[in-house]
Amino acid sequence: MDIKVIDKEFAVCKINDVTEVNFNDEFCFVGKTDEELSLVCSSEFVPKNTIVCDSGWRAFRIEGILDFSLTGILARAADILANAKIPIFAVSTYNTDYILIKNEFFRKALDVLKENNYVIKVG
């Protein structure tokens, strides 16, 4: 399985509303439930109306478009990282999965995945 490193720092936020979200940001994930409104965005674009923010995340994506019939793609990577004591924050889109990892664990995460037959693509 190939993973692509995203050369950007991210923030995970809880926000009041989307009025200040920069939807022109190359990476912007909004999640809304009956209990909260969450945002994952580039650290440089954290909205001013953020309630709470946790910055210092790096990310990679599973390469390719994942068919909905595939099983265990995210679970396998998450299990490998969990066994290495690396916490993750996962986001899925229609095409693929993204895994965010705090800066201090990122290099170790890539090394562990490489040891488990993942191909790491940078750039």
In this predicted model, what pLDDT tens digit does every residue of 31-72 receive, in sequence order? 999 999 999 999 999 999 999 999 999 999 987 655 555 556
Domain holding 98, by residue range, is: 2-121
Q: Yes or no: say if 70 and 92 are a contact pair by the CB < 8 Å rule.
A: no
Count of Cβ atoms closer than 10 Å to residue 25 Cβ: 16
How many domains does one find in the chain?
Answer: 1
Percent of the chain clearing pLDDT 70 (strictly above):
93
- Cβ atoms 48, 20 nearer than 8 A: yes
Question: What is the pLDDT at residue 108?
Answer: 98
Ordered alpha helix ranges (H), 1-102: 73-83
Task: Give the list of residues 6+ apart from residue 55 with CB closer than 8 angstroms, or none.
Answer: 9, 10, 11, 12, 43, 46
Q: What is the CATH number of the domain that holds 15?
A: 3.30.2130.10
Tokens 């488990």 correspond to 116
CB 55 within 8 Å of CB 11: yes
